[in-house]
Structures are given as C-alpha cells and as structure tokens.
C-alpha cells in the first residue's frame, strides 16, 4: 500500500499539471510585473488582457525578480504587522491579497495587493510587494486561481514579448 501511495505521489509530482518550476501553458493565466515601468499585466487565453499601473520596492532588491507561483489569496486581508483587520480603511493591504512564493516563502510575505494610498501607485515605494489600485487588484483576484504563475522582471520587453518568451502566449503563425 505504501508503495502505491508513493508511486501516485511521484506520478503527480512529475505530471505536466504540476505548476512548480514550470512556465505557464499557452492559455493559462499568467501575471507579469515589470519593475522598470511599474506596470502589471494579466496574460490569459493567449493574449494580454489587462494592464495596470503598479508600485514596487523602494529599492530594486526589495521586490524579488523571478518566476513564482500564487499560493495564497485573501479578500479583505488582515495586516498582521500593525494588527489592522481586513476592511479597515487604515489597512495598507487594501481589499485583496494575491500571495506568491518568492524567496522560498509561503505566499504570506510577498504579494500583489491593493492599497489605502492610491497616490503611491506608479512609484518605487513598497517594502517588496506589488501594490495596485483596489479596483485593479479585485479584477485580477477574480481572474487568477491558486497555482497561477507570476513573473517579476525589470525589462524593456513588452508584455506580449514576455508572454511569448515564458510560454503564456503562443504566437499566431503567419
């Protein structure tokens, strides 16, 4: 029985639906954050569907770059650093939290979230997270499931080019 369970776990772990360490498949939701332009995009169904302004780290090293996975989603997230409940107008996390596993964390350290300071959007101001206007993060929250891949980069490439490069967009044959 133990051998069957181990074999099942192994076959699941190496199956193509296992999200860790893999690029998205064309058509899968894919979040891209470009620290160079302070913008975020959702690529879905083989197309860039949504682009919005973002705020990122005060210094380039605060917002980690790489390919990550959404592991936590929360509506009206609790802000534990200052004991501020979700939904409170003083809560700096805004209305939604989309946490991902950067720097070997569990999705509760780094995330895409709303803000109670809309004037901060477009600036280099955070401690590492990606801030969006609450309306934008709510749209994104409703469109991405757990397991969605998140690319954070500082690039001169367009979101379309990044989507092609990372497999979220399959270019149309000409």
Structural domain includes residue 17: no
pLDDT at residue 1 in the model: 53
Instruction: Specify if 3 maps to a domain.
Output: no
DSSP category for residue 54 = -
Q: What is the pLDDT of residue 173?
A: 60
What pLDDT shows up at residue 26? 81
Please state, in angstroms and as integers, the Cα–Cα distance from residue 92 to each residue in 41, 147, 164, following that order.
22, 25, 34
- Whether pLDDT at 63 is above 80: yes
Residue at 63 is within a domain:
yes
Instruction: Note down the domain range covering 103.
Output: 30-166
- Catalytic residue, chosen from 104, 113, 133, 166, is 113
The answer to the question of residue 84 being in a domain is yes
Q: Is 104 labeled as catalytic in the residue annotation?
A: no
Does residue 22 have a pLDDT over 90?
A: no
Asked if the model's pLDDT at residue 74 lies above 70, the reply is: yes
pLDDT recorded at residue 2: 52
On average, the pLDDT of the chain sits at 89
Is 72 among the domain residues?
Answer: yes
> What confidence score (pLDDT) does residue 17 get?
40
Question: For the chain, what is the domain count?
Answer: 1
Judge whether 113 and 94 are in contact, CB under 8 Å: yes
Q: Does residue 171 lie within any of the structural domains? A: no
For residue 121, is it within any domain?
yes
Task: Give the domain CATH number at 112.
Answer: 2.40.440.10
- For 25, phi then psi, to 5°, come to -90, 150
- In this predicted structure, the answer to whether residue 172 has a pLDDT above a threshold of 60 is yes
pLDDT at 151 over 50: yes
Question: What was the pLDDT predicted at 3?
Answer: 47
Q: DSSP state, 171? A: P
129 an active-site residue?
A: yes
Cα–Cα distance for residue pair 112/93, rounded to 1 Å:
9
Residue 134 lies in a domain: yes
pLDDT value, residue 32: 98
Q: Which of 104, 129, 133, 166 is catalytic?
A: 129
Closest by alpha carbon to 25, among 134, 154, 148?
A: 148
Residue 98 CB partners (closer than 8 Å, separation 6+): 31, 70, 72, 73, 111, 112, 113, 137, 140, 141, 144
Asked whether the predicted pLDDT for residue 141 surpasses 70, the reply is: yes
pLDDT at 25: 81
């Amino acid at each position: 029985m133990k051998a069957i369970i181990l074999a099942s776990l192994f076959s699941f772990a190496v199956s193509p639906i296992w999200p860790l360490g893999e690029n998205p498949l064309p058509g899968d939701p894919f979040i891209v954050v470009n620290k160079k332009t302070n913008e975020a995009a959702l690529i879905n169904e083989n197309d860039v569907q949504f682009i919005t302004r973002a705020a990122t780290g005060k210094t380039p090293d605060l917002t980690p770059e790489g390919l990550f996975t959404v592991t936590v989603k929360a509506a009206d997230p609790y802000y534990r650093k200052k004991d501020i409940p979700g939904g409170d107008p003083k809560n700096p996390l805004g209305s939604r939290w989309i946490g991902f596993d950067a720097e070997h964390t569990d999705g509760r350290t780094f995330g895409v979230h709303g803000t109670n300071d809309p004037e901060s959007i477009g600036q280099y101001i955070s401690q590492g997270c990606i801030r969006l206007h609450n309306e934008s993060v709510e749209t994104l929250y409703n469109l991405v499931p757990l397991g969605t891949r998140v690319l954070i980069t500082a690039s001169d490439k367009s979101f379309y080019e990044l989507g092609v490069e990372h497999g979220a967009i399959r270019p149309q044959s000409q």
